[in-house]
Amino acid sequence: MSKKELCAAIEALQNQFLTLDWTYHESPVGTPSEKMYRWPGNPEDKILICVHKSNGIQELFHRHDFFYFNYTYMGEYDSLSYKYDNRITIKEGEIYAGQPFAGHALCVHDNKETIIIGVLIQKETFFRSFLPMLSANSHFFHFLLDPATNQFSDEYIHFKIEDDCNIRTLLEMMVIEFANRQDDSQQILKPLVLSFLMQIARQYALVNQKFISESLSDKIINFIGEHFDTVTLKDIAKRFSYHPNYISTLLHREIGKSFSEILLEQRMERASILLNGTNLTNEEIALMLGYSNSSNFYKAFREFYGVSPKEYVLHQKQV
């Protein structure tokens, strides 16, 4: 990847940005005056790499019907989030990302030439192709899905990319591929985007690390949350070098629940979010949560919530 090739690709996508459909549409959430961007590119392109170059612009407050991950390649800009009461500055080398229905307004500083590389992903593609690989990080998982069910959830993530992280390199590779599109470019972009998102998830976990108790039970709970789709009691015993019986006794004594109960709660919490926030089928959700088939998932869900997944979604919509 030569510098000349990269510069040419960036310039090509800057010109293409002006041809994308950035029409404001009525928003199905929020106040009646709020607007929404619908997918701005070709509907057949499930992933869109765009480059926005500006030296001064103020957008209207708006939402999106797609996932976006913006990287400030050069310069800096401000973003105004919910109800214009939260203004932050996104500087060079920082990521700013939002989920469908999250709202913001971009404001580029008048004296700053700014280049933003955006990775835009259609909702269904994100849910089916990328979300299963990202669901182990509980906090990131909630960020990605909460806006579909909670208008006042966290609206964005914002942090500086570490210098030793390869996110910038992955973005440059995606820019070159998308600027020189071929018939198989969407297939080539998918693994690049997955690597990009996995890196963001890792960075997000590091940035949002909170004080975690050194107690063994807390460590076990975190481990279950990170491996909820495959973890067994034997896995935990091996990971922490204790006998499975000791792990069971510890969890009962300090948490008041068995390993199976804790695992079920973690799976059912994610099931609730997936059912309310996506259009994934029971079969897809069951596989993501670690169930061998949809029948086992259906049975576990009904025993936990007292209703079927379909009845649960209908009830949530009525609340």
Instruction: Provide the percentage of residues in the chain whose pLDDT is more than 90.
Output: 50
What is the token pair recorded at 179? 């600027």
pTM of the model: 0.82
pLDDT at position 150 = 44
Cα(50)–Cα(17) distance, integer angstroms: 6
Which of the pair, 118 or 280, is modelled with greater confidence?
118
Please check whether residues 54 and 152 belong to one and the same domain: yes
| One domain for residues 170 and 135 | yes
**Domain count for the chain:** 2
pLDDT confidence band for 152 (50 / 70 / 90): very low
The overall average pLDDT reported for the chain is 86
For residue 57, the model assigns a pLDDT of 66
CA separation for the pair 144, 101 (Å, rounded): 11
End of a domain among 170, 189, 207? 207
pLDDT digits (tens, 9 = 90+) for 197-226: 999 988 887 776 654 557 899 889 888 988
pLDDT-based confidence at 172, cuts 50/70/90?
very high
Lowest mean pLDDT among 160-169, 177-186, 203-212, 213-222: 203-212
**DSSP per residue over 80-145, as a string?**
E-GGG--EEEE-TTEEEEE-TT--BEEEE-TT--EEEEEEEEEHHHIIIIIHHHHTTSHHHHHHHH
Q: Which residue has the higher pLDDT, 228 or 142?
A: 228
- Mean pLDDT (whole number) for 28-47: 84
Q: State which of 207, 242, 257 marks the end of a domain.
A: 207
Distance of alpha carbon 288 from alpha carbon 292, whole angstroms:
10
Sign of the torsion angle spanned by Cα atoms 296, 301, 306, 307: negative
- The sheet carrying 156-160 orders its strands as 47-54, 114-122, 66-74, 94-98, 156-160
Which DSSP state fits 32? T
Q: Is residue 153 within 8 Å of residue 147, measured between CB atoms?
A: yes
Residue 249 belongs to domain spanning: 216-318
- CATH of residue 301's domain is 1.10.10.60
Q: Give the end of a domain, one of 148, 181, 207.
A: 207
108, 256: one domain: no
Tens digit of each residue's pLDDT (9 = 90 or more) over 233-271:
999 999 999 999 999 999 999 999 999 999 999 999 889
Is residue 139 located within the same domain as residue 69? yes
pLDDT in tens, 64-110: 889 999 999 998 888 887 555 678 888 999 999 888 877 788 887 66
- CA 181, 191, 118, 93 dihedral sign is negative
